[in-house]
Amino acid sequence: MLSAANIDPSFIKNRIAKRVAKELHAGSVVNLGIGIPSLIPNFLDSKSQVYLQSENGLLGMGPTPPKEQIDMDLISASKQPVTLGIGSSVFSSADSFAMIRGGHIDIAVMGALQISEKGEIANWSVPGKDILGVGGAMDLVASAQKIIIAMTHATKDHVPKIIQRLTYPMSGIRTADVIVTDKAVFKIKNDSFILEEMAADSSLDEIKRLTDAHFTVSKNLQTMLID
C-alpha cells in the first residue's frame, strides 16, 4: 500500500496541523509549540477567535508579516517574526509564565518524541545526546488546561512513537489529553488510550502495526476529519 508517509513530509505535517486546528474552539487561549504546531495558524480562519500566546511574552500573536514589515523586536517563541493581532498585549517572561503556570492557557499544542500508553510525554531530550535545551516545554506540560500532542505517528524509519513505556526522558508527570497524528486521533481518558478517528488512507491493521501500546477502539470510530 502506498501510505501517505511515502508521499511528502509537508503533506503529512499539514494534515496533522489542519486536524488540530479543529480542536481549537473560539475564545480559547492557545500556546503552540515549535514544529508541526507552528503550522496550525495557516488553518485558522480570521473568524476563529483563537488567541495565540507566545511564551516569550505575547498574547494575541498575528501572522507572519510581509518582508518589508519584519521587526525582529516582535518574534514568536520559535524566534520567527510575527505581528500583533487586534487586542494583543506584550509582557515579560515572568508574566508570561505566570499565565502558563497559573493555568490560564486553555490549550497547549506541542510536538513529542514519544507518548506512553498512559499519555506521558517525552519531548525535550534524547538519551545519549546532549541535554542542552528544555525551553518552556516542562512549564506547559505541568500547567496547561488541556494538552494536545501533534506528531507523526511513527519515525521516518517506521518506529512507533506511541509506546507502552517511555524510553526517552519524561517532560513531566502530567499526561496528554489528545494525540493527533497523520494516521489517527486518540483521546486519553482515565489513563487509557482510545482510538477516536482513523485517516481515510490508513487502516486498523496499519495503526496497530505502528503503535506499540495498548489502545481501545471507540464504538463511534470516525474517519479523521481534515476538510
The footprint of other proteins on residues 70-99 (CB under 8 A) is 70-75, 79, 81, 84, 90-94, 96-98
x/- mask, other proteins, residues 151-170, rule CB under 8 A, reads ------------------xx
Question: Is 120 tagged catalytic?
Answer: no
188 SS3 class? strand
* Residue 36 to residue 174: CA distance in whole angstroms: 21
* Residue 85 to residue 125: CA distance in whole angstroms: 33
* Residue 99 to residue 59: CA distance in whole angstroms: 10
Give least dist CB 3 to other proteins, A: 31
Position 139 contacts other proteins (CB under 8 A): yes
37: alpha, beta or left? (left if phi > 0; alpha if psi -120 to 50): alpha
Position 143 contacts other proteins (CB under 8 A): yes
Question: What grid cell was written down for 227?
Answer: 476538510
C-alpha angle 71/109/217, rounded to 5°?
155
x/- mask, other proteins, residues 94-133, rule CB under 8 A, reads x-xxx-xx-----------------------x----xxxx
Residues near other proteins, by CB under 8 A: 54-58, 68-75, 79, 81, 84, 90-94, 96-98, 100-101, 125, 130-139, 142-143, 169-174
Instruction: List residues with catalytic annotation.
Output: 55
